[in-house]
């Protein structure tokens, strides 16, 4: 869409959220951004000289104005491995994509990509500074998503999406297997369901904090589960399942290294004994959970087969990869896999850097776990829940490439993990000693 399309309600909502973001205490600023991500579709946008500013992007701009106006950019953050790798990933993606397409439109497209990635991620990095901020963010999300869950129940019951008034989503919901697939403000039911499923581990962690946090956690858990369920999609169901398995592995965390090597051994063994390659497992799981697992397996197989076409700078042509694949453009099939998408957009280097960001996130979580192992249980569970949410995302990436406002919540999770990694030394200290230590830590690490 090349024209401005923002209603009076959308404009008013944008102004209110922007002003709120400027005025509220830092700890609650993240909730203002999350509200926009949950309740305004990408159909609401302003076009400036060919640059598309969705409400989400406009509110991110408000967030950076806040950081500057309130002096929250200082002290500066010290870039850690996650930060640096993410920046390299953005640069590699930008350069490869532009060189591959060689058009001004490609430059504009990647400027939007870089704005989203750097703008969102580092906005959250500056706003979320310690474990208390992480807990406040999780609690805020638990409250923010309650109306969304209610609206998605209504959509799944009636087949009418109330968010259609904002544009960007259809009024009539997708109907499949005798069920309406609710999507809320998201562009597709899979995105909406994945959003809910990947939040579940974070809300479970609130139960262990006791008091009011326990009640908030239950509210968030019920709402997130409802959102995931109303999408009626197998992808979010698997993300929910594996996120829960990862969370339950807390009881055997002492044997985590053995579990990782054991999983690798199982995958290699399956690859050897199966008639088809191991990446056809999604197709096998589809026989149990339903969905288009065969298509996703075929997509991964096609990416391996055509490796020579995309490994250097990505490729602009994938229509010949799969004869019966759905197409989003005449030259590009529907790339329902985030890892494949990274390779197609930016080549092998971009894919490797994307995976490296995730690896460094797990490493940061592992280091934080070592710090909190003798500390309070709630802190340890919170750290573990972030890793479990990351596992849920990793599974989702095999069934969908993220788009729309889902990327906002992906970068939010990465920022929380990155912040936790930088402040982990102070987490396990007694409460009366933690404040001065954290202040000192913030001065040196953030």
As given in the structure block, the two tokens for residue 334 are 């529907």
Mean residue pLDDT of the chain comes to: 88
User: Does the structure show a pLDDT above 60 at 427?
Assistant: no
Average pLDDT over residues 227-235: 93
User: Does the structure show a pLDDT above 50 at 433?
Assistant: no
User: Does the structure show a pLDDT above 60 at 188?
Assistant: yes
Question: Confidence class of residue 330 from pLDDT cuts 50, 70 and 90?
Answer: confident
Please report how the helices 377-396 and 131-144 are oriented relative to each other, as an axis angle in degrees rounded to 10. 60
Question: Confidence class of residue 3 from pLDDT cuts 50, 70 and 90?
Answer: low
Tell me which residue of 122, 59, 13 sits closest to 446, measured CA to CA. 122
User: Does the structure show a pLDDT above 60 at 71?
Assistant: yes
Domain boundaries, the chain: 8-261+335-445
Distances (CA, A) of 5 to 27, 155, 288: 32, 24, 42
* Lowest-confidence segment of 17-31, 200-214, 275-289 by average pLDDT: 275-289
Neighbours of 91 (CB within 10 A): 15
**Does the predicted model carry a pTM greater than 0.85?**
yes
Give residue 291's pLDDT: 64
Question: Confidence class of residue 287 from pLDDT cuts 50, 70 and 90?
Answer: low
Give residue 434's pLDDT: 44
What DSSP assignment string belongs to 355-423?
A: HHHHHHHHHHHHHHHHHHTTS-HHHHHHHHHHHHHHHHHHHHTTT----TTHHHHHHHHHHHHHHHHHH
Percentage of the residues of the chain whose pLDDT score is greater than 90: 66
Tell me which residue of 210, 235, 352, 213 sits closest to 293, measured CA to CA. 235
Average pLDDT over residues 28-32: 93
Average pLDDT over residues 132-138: 95
- CA neighbours closer than 13 Å in the CB half-sphere of residue 46: 11
Tell me which residue of 5, 13, 16 sits closest to 42, measured CA to CA. 5
pLDDT digits (tens, 9 = 90+) for 236-269: 999 999 999 999 998 888 777 787 788 888 878 8
Give residue 107's pLDDT: 96
Give residue 56's pLDDT: 94
Q: How far apart are CA 223 and CA 248, in angstroms?
A: 20
User: Does the structure show a pLDDT above 80 at 423?
Assistant: no
User: Does the structure show a pLDDT above 70 at 127?
Assistant: yes
| pLDDT greater at residue 436 or residue 214 | 214
Average pLDDT over residues 224-235: 95
Average pLDDT over residues 27-31: 92
Tell me which residue of 69, 129, 83 sits closest to 439, measured CA to CA. 129
């Amino acid at each position: 869409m090349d024209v401005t399309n923002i209603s009076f309600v959308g404009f008013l909502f944008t102004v209110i959220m922007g002003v709120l973001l400027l005025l509220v205490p830092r700890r609650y600023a993240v909730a203002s951004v999350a509200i926009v991500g949950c309740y305004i579709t990408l159909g609401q946008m302003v076009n400036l000289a060919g640059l598309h500013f969705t409400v989400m992007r406009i509110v991110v701009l408000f967030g950076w104005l806040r950081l500057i106006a309130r002096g929250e950019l200082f002290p500066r953050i010290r870039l850690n491995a996650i930060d640096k790798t993410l920046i390299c990933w953005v640069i590699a993606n930008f350069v490869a994509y532009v060189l591959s397409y060689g058009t001004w439109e490609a430059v504009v497209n990647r400027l939007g990509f870089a704005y989203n990635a750097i703008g969102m991620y580092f906005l959250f990095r500056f706003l979320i500074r310690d474990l208390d901020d992480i807990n406040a963010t999780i609690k805020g999300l638990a409250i923010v998503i309650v109306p969304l869950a209610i609206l998605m129940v209504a959509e799944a019951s009636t087949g009418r999406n109330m968010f259609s008034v904002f544009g960007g989503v259809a009024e009539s919901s997708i109907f499949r297997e005798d069920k309406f697939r609710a999507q809320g403000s998201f562009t597709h039911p899979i995105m909406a369901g994945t959003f809910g499923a990947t939040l579940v581990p974070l809300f479970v962690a609130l139960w262990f904090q006791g008091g009011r946090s326990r009640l908030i956690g239950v509210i968030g858990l019920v709402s997130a589960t409802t959102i995931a369920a109303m999408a009626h999609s197998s992808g979010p169901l698997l993300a929910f399942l594996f996120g829960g398995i990862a969370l339950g592995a807390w009881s055997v965390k002492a044997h985590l290294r053995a579990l990782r090597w054991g999983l690798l051994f199982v995958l290699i063994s399956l690859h050897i004994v199966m008639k088809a390659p191991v990446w056809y497992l999604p197709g096998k799981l589809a026989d149990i959970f339903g969905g288009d697992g065969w298509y996703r397996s075929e997509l991964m197989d096609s990416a391996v087969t055509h490796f020579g076409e995309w490994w250097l700078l990505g490729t602009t042509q994938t229509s010949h990869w799969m004869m019966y694949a759905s197409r989003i453009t005449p030259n590009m099939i529907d790339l329902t896999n985030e890892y494949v998408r990274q390779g197609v957009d930016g080549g092998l280097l971009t894919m490797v850097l994307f995976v490296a960001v995730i690896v460094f996130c797990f490493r940061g979580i592992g280091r934080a776990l070592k710090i909190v192992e003798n500390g309070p249980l709630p802190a340890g569970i919170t750290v573990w829940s972030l890793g479990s949410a990351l596992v849920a995302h990793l599974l989702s990436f095999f069934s969908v490439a993220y788009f729309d406002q889902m990327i906002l919540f992906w970068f939010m999770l990465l920022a929380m993990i990155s912040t936790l990694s930088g402040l982990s030394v102070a987490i396990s200290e007694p409460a009366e000693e933690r404040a001065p230590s954290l202040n000192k830590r913030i001065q040196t690490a953030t």
